[in-house]
Structure 1
Amino acid sequence: MPAGSSNKRERQYEHIKEGAEERGASEERAKEIAARTVNKERARSGEAKTTSRTSTRDPKSASQRGGERSHSGAQGPTRDQLYEEAKKKNIEGRSTMNKQQLRKALGR
């Protein structure tokens, strides 16, 4: 946590960190998740000295978004992730499909 952060933010950081560890994240990853989440919330509420554009202009907070943007990087979800989604939706022929075909079958 940044120096001078409030007791509320310290509690929030610990709560998020413990939750991430309970979900199986390593201690380092849990710390990173907690720090990023708390820093974004600090930026949104005007507590941070510097902020990014997405921190202040995003209509949803990180907690409200709940991983909505996960795996939406440059290439999106992996083939295995798409395959698992296709499996849940019982799409036939999924085992022989490549990433692009899985995307199409899933309507992405």
Structure 2
Amino acid sequence: MNTKFSDKQFVVLGFPCNQFGAQEPGSDAEVKSFAQGKGVKTPPFYLFSKIDVNGDNAHPLYKKLKEASGSGDLEWNFGKFLITKGDAVKRYPIRTSAASTVPDIEAAQ
């Protein structure tokens, strides 16, 4: 995705979270090492520190994204939001493939 849209001011941001079945128990360094072992390159993929995305301790970014997209709590890992110039445009179900978001990304350019 980053390669396809590298000339369009498009980036992918990753926020690890351990709220779903404790699937991300490692430290930030361990999470980054695991992602790199799976072929994730930082940058162009930006991997941030672990955060909460739901509940009282949800990160302010995720509170805003959920509110702006008119959606509730994330159900599981790999939730996706399309954001243009700071505005949440669309939230995708967790099973949505990255490839199927391409038409929306192109339309938002």
Give the structure-2-normalised TM-score: 0.36
- Higher relative contact order by CA 8 Å / sep ≥ 6: 1 or 2? 2
Instruction: Name the structure with the higher strand share.
Output: 2
Larger radius of gyration: 1
Give the structure-1-normalised TM-score: 0.36
Instruction: Name the structure with the higher helix share.
Output: 1
